Amino acid sequence: MYPNEYRSKYSCVNQTVSEKISVIDFASFREGNTSQRSAIAAKIYRACHEIGFMYLKNPGIDSDLITETFKRSQEFFNLTLAEKNQLAWSDKFSNRGYVGVGRERLDDSKPGDLKEAFNIGKEIDPTRSSTTQPSLSCNRWLEEDESFRDTMLDFFSACNNVAMNLCEAMAIALSLPKSFLADRHDKQDNTLRLLHYPPIEQTPSPEQLRAGEHSDYGSFTFLFQDAVGGLEVRNADGEWIEAPLILGTVLVNTGDLMQRWTNHVFCSTKHRVRIPHEQKAKQSRYSIAYFCHPNHDTEISCLETCQSGERPPLYPTITAGDYLLSRLQATY
């Protein structure tokens, strides 16, 4: 669909990639005509192929809801450790609840990450919960705090709406039927993650970071962040470039399953959160990630539009749920 210069044979990143992460006005896709939507899909293709990161301007989420979600997140992390541990993620299957500082190690060659988190999934009937199917795990909520739960579920829903639109844009970019990806993400097997990076009050261990070098596991991720900074993306030359807050946008990156699905046409780029210098190291950093995953029963095999005789599939077929579980077990 797009020029061959954007379709390098096996590399995810062109050697000529710009260090600047593109800002794409998503309103032109959500509200535009066929020509405008195709133009935005082409920009998304280039961003996902060349660096795997982009900023979406006007994604379609109310700014007041974003502000309220950050407020509620900060209130949660201000609770005592004992209160937060009552909601701790206690088994390897659930991917729900509180994760304490240092428990997660995104780069398994480095010490534990200097952050804490709270994971939320789609709300389900507790009588249908399961310890063997991540898609049927229950959320863990604060007792007598319905406003926290309601805000998080509203934000989860708002992010899912954007995700469905982005699935359509990506499908168009990949010359697929426009509902192809949305149909395979319609069970909302996604994770909303609140993140807090506490102030650095003592010297970290050697090579310890707020979040170690890693790539994300699923299809794509939405990241909302504050102005403290520290997020970095590794470019084609192996150099780390900053991905700061840009007001009015959400930062989006493609993940490992999307890279696998597209045979490396779209790339999953390494990124990290370093410890900032001087005064900012003494400040809390807050961010909110929404990890969009295919339905757990979706078979991830090379898309027909991303393979040819000269470019055979690079990976065997795997279900999205099995892949996610293997990555979670390795991370914790």
| Domain boundary assignment for the chain | 20-331
Residue whose tokens read 């979706």: 298
Taking only the tens place, the pLDDT of each residue in 252-301 is 999 999 999 999 999 999 988 877 776 776 788 899 999 999 999 999 99
Instruction: Give the gyration radius of the chain's Cα atoms.
Output: 19
Strand 240-242 and strand 231-234: pairing?
A: antiparallel
pLDDT band (50, 70, 90) for residue 91: low
Residue whose tokens read 């995810």: 12
The confidence score (pLDDT) of residue 12 equals 47
pTM score over 0.85: yes
**What spatial distance separates the first Cα and last Cα of the chain, rounded to whole Å?**
41
Six-digit token string for 10: 């096996």
Cα three-residue angle 196-198-199, rounded to 5 degrees: 145
Is residue 113 classed as helix, strand or coil in its secondary structure? coil
Six-digit token string for 48: 């996902």
The confidence score (pLDDT) of residue 93 equals 59
Six-digit token string for 98: 């509180």
The confidence score (pLDDT) of residue 82 equals 94
The confidence score (pLDDT) of residue 98 equals 92
Six-digit token string for 200: 């650095």
Six-digit token string for 281: 């190291």
- Which residues are paired to 191 by β-bridges? 291
Spatial CA neighbour of 51 closest among 9, 6, 1: 6
pLDDT band (50, 70, 90) for residue 105: low
Q: Which fold has domain 20-331?
A: Jelly Rolls (2.60.120)
* Residues counted in the chain: 332
Q: 166 CB contacts (<8 Å, ≥6 apart)? A: 26, 44, 56, 220, 252, 292
Q: What are phi and psi of 286, to 5 degrees?
A: -120, 140
Q: 96 CB contacts (<8 Å, ≥6 apart)? A: 89, 119, 120, 121, 137, 138, 139, 140
**CA 194 to CA 72: how far, in whole Å?**
10
User: Between the CA of residue 174 and those of 9, 102, 106, 224, 306, what are the distances in Å?
Assistant: 15, 39, 30, 26, 8
Q: 183 CB contacts (<8 Å, ≥6 apart)? A: none
